[in-house]
Structure 1
Amino acid sequence: MLARLFPDRFVPVLLATIVVASLLPVRGNAVPVAQGISTAAIVLLFFLNGVRLPRHEVLHGIRNWKLQGGAFAFCFGAMALAGLGAQALAAPLLPPTLALGFLFLGILPSTVQSATAASSMAGGNVAASVVAAALLNLAGVFLSPLLFAALAGKAGAIHGAAALRIVAILLLPFLAGQAAQRWLRPLVLRHRGLATLMDRTAIATAVYVAFSAAVVGGIWTQLDGREIAIVLGVDALLLGSAFGGTWLLGGLLALRRPDRITLLFSGAQKSLAVGAPLAATLFPSAIAGMVLLPILVYHMAQLILSAWIAPALARRQGV
């Protein structure tokens, strides 16, 4: 029953992380230590992403301009505007930092592993899915902070210290991984399970530290049941719009069915692997957890929905 409810094993891990952070948040002198561990884990995460994303496949896949252009436009265009609309919709009903989280969700790139895995399971174009993940995440390191700054107004202002942290914690490790790809990529690919475990540990660590600060700051005393229900409802609206919109866009672009499936998962999913460290970089620790709440809910929901949709799509085309 649990396997049917949570087809992706990372969903219970994220739920457990939130529960542990709520019951045993990091406090006092332990905070700098936990933040240091989280930062180191994030650096490792982006270094491994740099090692894994293949440059030659990216260059080859760019030729499929309808698919890649559609994924890029939907991920950073349509979803950014949808996040802005969701923020405006939720602003009168939720604390400002929580409503801002919907815009933050909208400007994030797609996932890497889960979008590719879902595309493969559904009979999509796996090579194009890898390329889409690479392009969107390469662009996201640069574009997501800029989009957030442009759309969030004063709340999204990126100061010099934050910009330096983005470069030092996200961009430089990624570029170092790209530079070391020739020597390390075969090793990482041989140990995919270990690399995935390290990825997910880094994400869970970043979420735990950010959410701990939000718990210490009183997130559960600031939010009541009605407000939590609003977050769930707005996230459900965004999720339905994202999956429905990408499938419709694939039809309008007259993509072949495997490419349409790839666009569905690459365009509709959003990356917590980028969102958690970016939130820790852009926002004070006291509010980063509040901003992260919408993407946390969305991320868990997209994993469950993708794991349900992918086998159904595969059955329809006899995969």
Structure 2
Amino acid sequence: MSALSRVRPDEFTTAMLATVMLAFLLPCRGTSAGIFGDLAAAAIGLLFFLQGARLSRAAIVAGALHWRLHLVIFAATFVLFPVVGLALRPLSGTLLTPPLYLGLLFLCTLPSTVQDSVAFTSIAGGNVAAALCSASASSIFGIFLTPLLTGLVLDAHGAFSLNALRSIGLEMLLPFVAGQLLQPWIGSWVQARRRALSGVDRGSVLLVVYTVFSAATLSGIWHQLALGPLMALFAAAGSLLALMLAITALAARGLGFSREDQIAIVFCGSKKSLVTGIPMANLLFAGHALGLIVLPLMVFYQIQLMACAALARRYARAVRSPAIVTP
């Protein structure tokens, strides 16, 4: 693969950038803003309904069996990430604007991403079944844990209200439970059309991105974003990812996991879900500088794709070596 292909954005990121540009040039306002908001809410509900319908009961049972691996991944995702985010508090008001730091802290509370974790684990020759179970379980528990963690770590900033839990329950948890209840009847149909239905995942995110950044454009919030804080954000996001990759790799090796399990831990424990994060931010931070709050997640997502793609290829090249590759 050429050097250019290693750093260029993927198709989804390109679509997001195009959507942000559209919101900057042609933001939705007035009646159209209400229509797009309703469409985004419906798409989010459908997204979590399909996630519930995809996950089989067998996957849940299988996930529970490898409890040591999942415990390490959950500790990295929902404990270590928020702790590191809180440790970056001195950046707020200095290198980063307060909304950017809030966004960085929020991404630290998010669950792992399923599709990317499984794909990179497969490329690297890791335990794909464990990665699938762990990342899926992370997404499930994230529906509960992310709002609670967000309330805990952001309470001092006044950027979160527990009233947002009601919106999470109605627009995310309730559709997910409905999908899980109907899974025995529609699960096979949904799995057979997984590729076609993946457009729902990405389409819902793009709808939310458009409404969020339209509101940001109309409020004039982009005038608050200078080049210095933006560069600091890229540096902070890259450093955060590098730190988590190193910690998960060292912890997995030190705890005596097999090479395949180590790979699953590294890729599942170091990533954050954009598909879950942007809809949640839309519900949790209504009335705040939402465009700037979701920007750290979008930056982190692209960095994690490029870095983990390179790391997965490195693992794959070392497949015959007895030593684990250290990020």
1:128–1:262 contact (8 Å) kept in structure 2: yes
Q: How do 1:129-278 residues align onto structure 2 when only pairs under 5 Å count? A: 129-154=131-156, 155-160=158-163, 162-278=164-280
| Superposed CA RMSD | 1.8
* Identical-pair percentage: 38
Q: How many residues in Structure 1 have an aligned counterpart in Structure 2? A: 318
Query: Is it true that 1:89 corresponds to 2:91 in the alignment?
Result: yes
- 1:289 is matched by which residue type in structure 2? G
Q: What is the aligned partner in structure 2 of residue 299 from structure 1?
A: 301
Judging changes above 3 Å, is the alpha-carbon distance between structure 1 residues 208 and 125 closer, same or farther for their aligned structure 2 residues? same
Q: What is the aligned partner in structure 2 of residue 106 from structure 1?
A: 108
Q: How do 1:40-119 residues align onto structure 2 when only pairs under 5 Å count? A: 40-119=42-121
How far did 1:54 drift? Answer: 2.4
Taking the aligned partners of 1:56 and 1:88, their CA distance within structure 2 comes to 45
- 2:161 is matched by which residue type in structure 1? I
Deviations 1:175-217 (A, max 9, x none): 1111111112111211121122221111121122112212222
How far did 1:89 drift? Answer: 2.2
Q: Which runs of 5+ in 1 are unaligned?
A: none
2:277–2:297 contact (8 Å) kept in structure 1: yes
How far did 1:7 drift? Answer: 6.7
How far did 1:245 drift? Answer: 1.6
Give the TM-score, by structure 2 length. 0.92
Taking the aligned partners of 1:286 and 1:89, their CA distance within structure 2 comes to 20
Runs of 4+ aligned structure 1 residues displaced above 6 Å come to none
Equivalent residue in structure 1 for 2:11, among 6, 9, 12? 9
Judging changes above 3 Å, is the alpha-carbon distance between structure 1 residues 249 and 109 closer, same or farther for their aligned structure 2 residues? same
How far did 1:110 drift? Answer: 0.3
Taking the aligned partners of 1:97 and 1:159, their CA distance within structure 2 comes to 19
How far did 1:286 drift? Answer: 5.0
- 1:158 is matched by which residue type in structure 2? S
How far did 1:37 drift? Answer: 0.8
Q: Which runs of 5+ in 2 are unaligned?
A: 322-327
Judging changes above 3 Å, is the alpha-carbon distance between structure 1 residues 256 and 16 closer, same or farther for their aligned structure 2 residues? same
Judging changes above 3 Å, is the alpha-carbon distance between structure 1 residues 53 and 192 closer, same or farther for their aligned structure 2 residues? same
1:107–1:148 contact (8 Å) kept in structure 2: yes
How far did 1:87 drift? Answer: 3.7
Secondary structure of the corresponding residue to residue 91 of structure 1 = coil
1:210–1:285 contact (8 Å) kept in structure 2: no
Taking the aligned partners of 1:299 and 1:197, their CA distance within structure 2 comes to 18
